[in-house]
Structure 1
Amino acid sequence: MSSHIHSLKVGDSLEVKGPIPKYPLAANQHKQIAMVAGGTGITPMLQIVNKLLSDPADKTKLTLVFANVSEQDILLKDQLDALTKAHGDRFKVQYVLDKPADAKAFAAQGGVVGFVTKDLLAKKLPFSAKDENVKVFVCGPPGFVAAISGSKAPDYSQGELAGALKDLGFEKDQVFKF
């Protein structure tokens, strides 16, 4: 998209659509929310985090598992770290990197080296599929989403639940794919 925008000349027009709400989220709607994001999949997750953390009446606990290739790929890291510092009782982030510059240093700082797997989610999600009033949001590249929760259907509806979350016992209504 950026190449297209850069190719536009003064006076050209560009149509923009949105915002298009995907999931109606209210304060205290869920006791806990886990978000599993890959790369630019952070976008809707940050909207959830900002919405709920900015509401003093909301008590939802939020956990973000954020996967990227390297440190340079972690979008909005400073903002996420600031939110964690300010709301550590309600918001936690787990960074996962495939190829950190220094794997030992990254792991020593609490990061996970590797990929988001069923075993990793079993360790890092703050709740299990058996807990009540919990939700898992998933967003990222198509292969990432397929591995975590199964792909969306061809008509872009939620599709069937598959992948790591299904293997962990989650039900379709506990998971939302952006």
Structure 2
Amino acid sequence: MELRTQLWSGLRRHCSFGRGGGLERSGIARAPSVDSIITVCFPLQGMAVFDSKDALWIIPVSVVAGIAAIALAGGLVVKLVFKKSDKVFLQGQNIKLPMRLVDKQVITHDTTLYTFGLPSTEYVLGVPAGNCVQLHARIDGEDVRRPYTPVTLDDFKGYVKFLIKAYRKNVNPNFPAGGKMTQYLETLDVGDAMEVSGPFGLIHYCGDGLFEVKGGSARKLSATNINMICGGTGLTPMYQLLKYILNSSSDRTKIAMIFANQAEKDILLRDELEQLRDQNSAQFRIWYTVESPPQHWTYDVGYVDQKMLEEHCYPASNTTVNLLCGPASMLKNACLPNLAALGHSKENILTF
């Protein structure tokens, strides 16, 4: 027990922070159990990260050897697992890199889940929560690029997944040619390559309710509640962020989502969303609205309106942040004026 206390004292003496912003503030005032597995990696020169189920420490590398010696000398059952930091695939907004398609899965009548492989399972894509990438292709002699948000989190190694709706020609009279990139993606076969660059985006979610907004109105926002209002494939950045929050052991931010679609068959990732809701009922709730409801539909019908927002979203406050993503007409005519009418400040409304 004395040697275990020495190990704990060494970590406390040199730690930079704990999971809760400091050992004492995070409620960690005891030594880790003797069967703890402590993982050590080296993301910064001269510093080491110790990560166990009990806490997180950042300490100088010079201390690591001494701590390990104390543990080994006393036969303490503490396993030190050394690993390299993950390799990041993306190299910036101006550098295009090839990814090879490894799987295509049809999700709905017009939406496909594309899985692209990274160079190896040592790589992560390198997209912070709230950011996106651009996919590039040469289509009919034109260089085309479009932004897309992965539905996989950035701790997903070796692969990245995109959920993409195809805008086909002669379907929407307002856009008879359809979408160049989405129709091109539908023609890809497994083994074909696409180019990707990034990350891009003005919104960065740092965790535990903290947003950093870049651009002309750069600011930081601290949220206890998040309203996610999305339509169609506007779900994808919300889904990425939703999983990021709910997968965190420390993030207690509450989320209310309104998801608008043309019809019930258009609701993307419904099973996954409702599983997340059922597993995190105190933290996440979801409400649907469709323009063409089926029989026995128990959710809303029609466009997002003030009554819907009032009943199913968190009320306006300094710590309520509203995230919007969907068709421009939905945001302009339905979301923004009705949020303003309910007292939400424009500073607390972020659009992907």
The aligned amino acid for 1:24 is H
Structure 1 residues not aligned, in runs of 5+: 150-161
Give 1:168's aligned residue. 342
Decide which structure has the larger Cα Rg and report it: 2
Give 1:3's aligned residue. 183
Shift in CA distance, 9/112, structure 1 to aligned 2, threshold 3 Å? closer
Distance 2:331 2:201 in 1: 19
Give 1:146's aligned residue. 332
Correspondence for 1:117 among 282, 305, 321? 305
Cα deviation, 1:45-85, whole Å, max 9, x if unaligned, reads 11111111011111100010001111100000000000000
Distance 2:247 2:290 in 1: 28
Offset, 1:21: 4.0
The TM-score with structure 2 as length reference comes to 0.42
Helix, strand or coil for the counterpart of 2:251?
A: coil
Alignment of 1:24-173 (within 5 A): 24-25=204-205, 26-29=207-210, 30-102=223-295, 105-107=296-298, 111-127=299-315, 129=316, 131-149=317-335, 162-173=336-347
Structure 2 residues not aligned, in runs of 5+: 1-180, 211-222
Cα deviation, 1:11-35, whole Å, max 9, x if unaligned, reads 9864323342431212133100000
Which has a greater percent of helix?
A: 1
Which has a greater percent of strand?
A: 2
The TM-score with structure 1 as length reference comes to 0.81
- The answer to whether the Cα contact below 8 Å between 1:138 and 1:148 also exists between their aligned partners in 2 is no
Instruction: Output the aligned Cα RMSD.
Output: 2.1
Distance 2:292 2:186 in 1: 31
Helix, strand or coil for the counterpart of 2:198?
A: coil
Distance 2:190 2:272 in 1: 33
Shift in CA distance, 22/47, structure 1 to aligned 2, threshold 3 Å? farther
Shift in CA distance, 8/44, structure 1 to aligned 2, threshold 3 Å? closer
- The answer to whether the Cα contact below 8 Å between 1:36 and 1:66 also exists between their aligned partners in 2 is yes
Distance 1:89 1:42 in 2: 21
Shift in CA distance, 62/3, structure 1 to aligned 2, threshold 3 Å? same
- The answer to whether the Cα contact below 8 Å between 2:224 and 2:320 also exists between their aligned partners in 1 is yes
Identity of aligned residues (%): 31
1:20 aligned onto 2:200: yes
Shift in CA distance, 117/57, structure 1 to aligned 2, threshold 3 Å? same
- The answer to whether the Cα contact below 8 Å between 2:208 and 2:250 also exists between their aligned partners in 1 is yes
Aligned length: 159
Helix, strand or coil for the counterpart of 2:331?
A: helix
Distance 1:89 1:70 in 2: 28
Shift in CA distance, 95/14, structure 1 to aligned 2, threshold 3 Å? same
Helix, strand or coil for the counterpart of 2:309?
A: helix
